[in-house]
Chain A
Amino acid sequence: MKIFEYLFMFLVFPGFIFSSTIGLLAGWVDRKLTARVQWRVGPPWYQNFVDVIKLLFYKETLIPVNVSKPIFLGMPLLSLASATIVSTILLVISRFPQAGFLGDLIVVIYLLMIPAIALMLGAFASENPLASLGASREMKLMLAYELPFIISVLVPVIKCGYAIKVGDIITYQSLHGHIIAGASGVISFIVMLLCVQAKLGFAPFDMPEAETEIMAGSYIEYSGKALGVFKLSKAILLFVLPVLMIILYFGGIGFDVETFIKNVAGYLAILAAIVVIKNTNPRVRIDQAVRFFWGPVTALAIISAVLAYFGY
């Protein structure tokens, strides 16, 4: 019966259905806020659901000639599956901190990389020159932001006594106060916010899918179901990445009323910060992004790790 329990966790709650619903709602918050910033009205709340259902059920899926079908169609599924696993792991562990295994934080970091890699492989498989251009930008961007991202994850790890279990980090914070309270916490939180911005592919780091230069970039050959699945996995990432930040810096998701309200407020605040950054910054060139992430951002991350080592 264990297997049914796991399947339920993965597919319904807190896995696929739950996290994609929240993710699509968060996507609406993004679109609505963007519209309000631009002094428009914006779409109704169900818009993203309608878009995804339309793509998944009512549109034709075109497959270009000569592409490798398993890669072209498998990559969206791989991306969706890894995003879903991350959300399942994180939410289950914040409910039962002892449910994790040694090194699950590392697994989470790896799994969070997979959607970008899947998108890249799918784009290369589609044999479209613009898609290849988008994918090569995606690759460079990934090399750029992974380094500061991993260093900034080190800060909670160091502060919690070298714990690489998500559960230990949560337990430590409930006993000794939140990571964000220290100087190192604040600095690495800012670093991680920037990396999350790039991981989500939002402006100013949206050059892999720059609409004005390379059309839809990596997504250009995708249509119908495959595109819908990619959109879903993006929506889940929009839910999961802020949740990871809440777990690492604000002591995890609480399930009593007071912490739950605090968590929702924290989530909305992080989301709003991301959307405002997205709307107030123009797209940078890829070389500028790499220089930005490997220069000042990595320096900040290292400073915060050193501060954490000395206990600040």
Chain B
Amino acid sequence: MGLKEKILTKSLYVFHLSSGSCNNCDIEILDCLTPRYDLERFGIVLVGSVKHADALLCTGSTNRLCVPRIKKLYEMMPKPGFVIAWGACGSSRGVFKDSYNTGSPLDEIIPVDLYIPGCPPKPEAVIAGVKKLLDKVNAVKKK
């Protein structure tokens, strides 16, 4: 694995985008930063501005009002950047699938690199998911 991949995988700034989640997923994200799991030891930090971000963390069922905003935020993220679909809602609209206000699932709006399943996902699932994402970055290099 080259220097670029090493650097990109060692430092991941995450921007949290909630598009109509039930708030449970958002709380679970904060759990990952607490002493028990402490994602900062892998260089993962939450940032306030999408222009600093390396990864867009999308929670929630992508309701109609949010769709243009998700697209805009994805375009504002400096590349190379990843998109993480978080939770059942983020991956597939979850229990809100047939609701009147959910548009289309996230991966029909922007390209998604990683799905983390669960309702809400456990922090362990997150760490496993991040590991998969890092493997994916390295695999791209090998091709």
- Interface of A toward B, CB cutoff 8 Å: 31, 35, 38-44, 46-47, 50-51, 53-54, 57-62, 211, 215-216, 219-224, 227
Contact = CB atoms under 8 A, between A and B. Distances in A.
Given A216-B52, A219-B49, A220-B48, A58 B40 contact: no
Given A51-B11, A219-B49, 20 more contacts: A35-B40, A41-B38, A42-B38, A42-B41, A50-B7, A54-B11, A58-B4, A59-B78, A60-B78, A60-B80, A61-B78, A62-B51, A215-B48, A216-B49, A216-B52, A220-B51, A221-B51, A222-B51, A223-B78, A224-B78
Contact of A38 (B7, B8, B35, B79): B35
A62 B41 CA distance: 28
Contacts, number: 76
B43 interface: yes
Nearest to B47: A216
Interface in B29-53: 34-35, 38, 40-43, 47-49, 51-52
Contacts of A54: 7-8, 11, 54
Most buried by B among A46, A58, A216: A58
B109 interface: no
B139 interface: no
A191 to B, nearest CB: 31
Contacts of B64: none
Contacts of B4: 58
A223 B52 CA distance: 5
A50 B11 contact: yes
A43 to B, nearest CB: 5
Contact of A43 (B40, B47, B76): B40
Contacts of A221: 49, 51
B10 interface: yes
Contacts of A39: 35
A222 B40 CA distance: 22
13 contacts: A42-B38, A42-B40, A42-B41, A43-B40, A50-B11, A62-B51, A62-B76, A219-B49, A221-B51, A223-B51, A223-B52, A223-B78, A224-B78
B52 A219 contact: yes
Contacts of B47: 216
A307 B126 CA distance: 59
A47 B11 contact: yes
Contacts of A38: 35
B35 A40 contact: yes
A222 B78 CA distance: 10
Contacts of B41: 35, 40-44
A40 B40 contact: yes
A43 B42 CA distance: 6
A50 to B, nearest CB: 5
A216 B13 CA distance: 13
Contacts of A46: 10
A59 B4 CA distance: 11
B40 A50 contact: no
A210 to B, nearest CB: 9
